[in-house]
Structure 1
Amino acid sequence: MDPHLLRTFVTVAHRGSFSAAAEELGYTQSAVSQQIAALEADLGLALLRRRPVEPTPAGARLLEHAEPLLLRLGAARADVLRAAAAPSPRLTLAASPLALTENLAVRLARPPRGELTIRATSRDDVAAVVASGEADLGLVDGIAAPSDPLRLPDVGPLSTIGVGEQDLVVALQEGHPLAGRAGLRLADLVDALWLQTPLCPVERLRDIAGDGFRIGMTYTGDDLHTVLRLVAAGHGLTLLPAGAASPAAVPLVAPRVVHRIELLHGTLAGHAERVAENLRR
């Protein structure tokens, strides 16, 4: 299958419109229609319904394969170009919301100094941004067992290494009945009301401790100060790294999980290699 046709198919499926896809891709609507028709002819299957525009069962199955394939192709291209590129003092570092800790920020200040852009990126997108060449390095954070790697999407030939771990705490409203405890177990909090955020997805808590963890409010942003304000107002509990939580937070003592940070990178040379080395130690 032609990757250009796959990319057009994925764009139409996501936008739900031939015209919107044509605008995004810089094609005419007729060209988009012809490309979809060519892909359907190649497979001998209808992939998109036209009114409304949505994948058929075969199209939905192809979509599951097409997106990872396109990511891998983009990663392969970026890796080859990165390896052949002349070293540059200009770097872009993609970082998920809680990945750039005070300690890592200090490590970035070590020589050699160059022009560095920090690109705020969601946890789910850090690996893809680095693999595609949009960023030279990536820092991603998440909840994991001590020394266990994070669960990252397979988007290409990236190297990963742990560069930081912090204890987790349960962020509570001041005056909460559990405030002031020496420690809390996650299993004792399954019936509590939780704040659902990208910083601490409730689904991850259920993976660790089973069902429960009622959602009191969902916040789709990743601003730490907003999360703390919502916790302080009583909208729910959340887990945060010890260094980012409010004074009312209580240490999580069981199970033994931590806030882990990993450095992601492809082929390194010159300034990027030295910055990566600074972050590793």
Structure 2
Amino acid sequence: MAGEIDLDLVRTFLTAYRVQSLSAAARELGRAQSTVTTQIATLEAELGHELFERRPTGVLPNARAHALAARIARPLDELERVLWADRPGADDRLIHLAGPAEYLSHRVLPRLDAIVRTGTRVGVTFGLSDHLLAELGTGVHDLVISAVRPRLAGVTATALVDEEFALVAAPRWSRLTDGEPADPARWAGVPVIAYAEHLPIIRRFWLTVFDRRPAEIVPWATVPDLRTIAAMVRAGLGVSVLPTYLIDDDLAAGRLVRLAGPEVPPINTLYLAVRSGALDRDPALREVHTALVRVCRS
């Protein structure tokens, strides 16, 4: 190499390496994509070899890129931590957290004292996992609690907790427990309340417990809020499949009954997603991430 390499080029490389997309790296860095493209090309020229394979869906790091990232990631992240802590407004950081309304409202937000103690402010957004994960990749959110396992380039996920699901109803519908609840004949005239018309939660339960699809079920009502569905089921308006964290008290008090008791109940893993490398660069984000993991697993 003829001279020293601009540290900014190395930072751009590491960002692009982590998100595996020049456009996503540009958003992460707050720059034009053309600037990021030029910086990567400049670094490759300085090093004398290519670092990425360009593809229509992004960039794929080659073996030289993996080796370079392994050497520079830790010291560069440490340098950014020092610089981040000294920047104006570092003590007034706002972390953008997003996830399912039901889980955040019932299990996370009432227990935010662990995050309050970090001294960091939190802004919360509710929504569906796929949409929120896409926004995480573009920098809209800092952390996303996702009901699906993230498979986006540049996003790292930590398994948080397993949701358990139960087929439940008010005691007036307990006759459905007298035989096989999956028997189509038993569901004639039974009002079913679903999260969506295509029965995403009920279908998963049927496939797991009864090894078939709920073809006989046409929902009486579709309500995109599990808390509201739980209230409707408690009122005796119908039956549904719900996560047990919402209804444990109702089951214990007899306000709801299980219509099926599988030995191994259906579960769904929740994940805490963050942009790759962000925890190493941002101390405030790392503290909130740690607090969220502790809250969800306790």
Alignment TM class, shorter chain as reference: 0.5 to 0.7
> Could you tell me which residue of structure 1 aligns to residue 240 of structure 2?
238
Name the structure with the higher helix share.
Answer: 2
Name the structure with the higher strand share.
Answer: 1
SS in 1 for 2:286: helix
Matching residue within 203, 217, 221 for 2:220 = 217
Task: Report the Cα distance in structure 2 between the residues aligned to 1:263 and 1:244, rounded to whole angstroms.
Answer: 20
CA distances 1:146-169 after superposition (whole Å, capped 9, x unpaired) = xxxx444x3332111122234322
How many residues align structurally? 197
Task: Report the Cα distance in structure 2 between the residues aligned to 1:223 and 1:167, rounded to whole angstroms.
Answer: 14
Deviates more, 1:229-238 or 1:157-166: 229-238
Matching residue within 115, 118, 122 for 1:116 = 122
Task: Report the Cα distance in structure 2 between the residues aligned to 1:123 and 1:189, rounded to whole angstroms.
Answer: 29
Task: Report the Cα distance in structure 2 between the residues aligned to 1:159 and 1:96, rounded to whole angstroms.
Answer: 18
Q: From the superposition, tell whether residues 222 and 73 of structure 1 become closer, same or farther in structure 2 (CA, over 3 Å).
A: farther
CA RMSD of superposed structures (Å) = 3.6
Superposed displacement of residue 271, structure 1: 0.7
> Could you tell me which residue of structure 1 aligns to residue 134 of structure 2?
128
Superposed displacement of residue 93, structure 1: 0.3
Contact 2:94–2:122 (Cα < 8 Å) also in 1: yes
Superposed displacement of residue 86, structure 1: 4.2
Task: Report the Cα distance in structure 1 between the residues aligned to 2:239 and 2:25, rounded to whole angstroms.
Answer: 42
> Could you tell me which residue of structure 2 aligns to residue 204 of structure 1?
204
> Could you tell me which residue of structure 1 aligns to residue 193 of structure 2?
195
Task: Report the Cα distance in structure 2 between the residues aligned to 1:97 and 1:115, rounded to whole angstroms.
Answer: 19
Instruction: Give the number of the structure whose alpha-carbon radius of gyration is greater.
Output: 2
Query: What are the ranges of 5 or more consecutive residues in structure 1 without an aligned counterpart?
Result: 1-71, 142-149
TM-score (norm 1): 0.57
Task: Report the Cα distance in structure 1 between the residues aligned to 2:149 and 2:243, rounded to whole angstroms.
Answer: 18
Percentage of matched positions with identical amino acids: 15
Superposed displacement of residue 115, structure 1: 1.5
> Could you tell me which residue of structure 2 aligns to residue 10 of structure 1?
none
Q: From the superposition, tell whether residues 228 and 102 of structure 1 become closer, same or farther in structure 2 (CA, over 3 Å).
A: closer
Aligned pair 1:164/2:161, yes or no? Answer: yes
Q: From the superposition, tell whether residues 228 and 220 of structure 1 become closer, same or farther in structure 2 (CA, over 3 Å).
A: closer
Q: From the superposition, tell whether residues 113 and 94 of structure 1 become closer, same or farther in structure 2 (CA, over 3 Å).
A: same
SS in 1 for 2:171: coil
SS in 1 for 2:241: strand
Task: Report the Cα distance in structure 1 between the residues aligned to 2:23 and 2:138, rounded to whole angstroms.
Answer: 5
Q: From the superposition, tell whether residues 189 and 74 of structure 1 become closer, same or farther in structure 2 (CA, over 3 Å).
A: farther
AA matched with 2:194: Q
Contact 1:94–1:129 (Cα < 8 Å) also in 2: no
Task: Report the Cα distance in structure 2 between the residues aligned to 1:252 and 1:73, rounded to whole angstroms.
Answer: 50
Contact 2:230–2:246 (Cα < 8 Å) also in 1: no
Task: Report the Cα distance in structure 2 between the residues aligned to 1:252 and 1:127, rounded to whole angstroms.
Answer: 34
Aligned pair 1:256/2:265, yes or no? Answer: yes
Task: Report the Cα distance in structure 1 between the residues aligned to 2:264 and 2:109, rounded to whole angstroms.
Answer: 29
* Correspondence list, 1:1-281, <5 A: 75-81=24-30, 86=84, 88=90, 89-100=93-104, 102-105=106-109, 108-110=112-114, 111-141=117-147, 150-152=148-150, 154-178=151-175, 188-189=181-182, 191=184, 192=187, 193=190, 194-198=192-196, 201-208=201-208, 209-212=211-214, 214-222=217-225, 224-225=227-228, 227-232=229-234, 236-245=238-247, 246=250, 247-250=255-258, 252-266=261-275, 267-268=278-279, 269-281=282-294
Query: What are the ranges of 5 or more consecutive residues in structure 2 without an aligned counterpart?
Result: 1-20, 32-76
Superposed displacement of residue 103, structure 1: 4.7
Q: From the superposition, tell whether residues 241 and 259 of structure 1 become closer, same or farther in structure 2 (CA, over 3 Å).
A: farther
Superposed displacement of residue 108, structure 1: 3.2
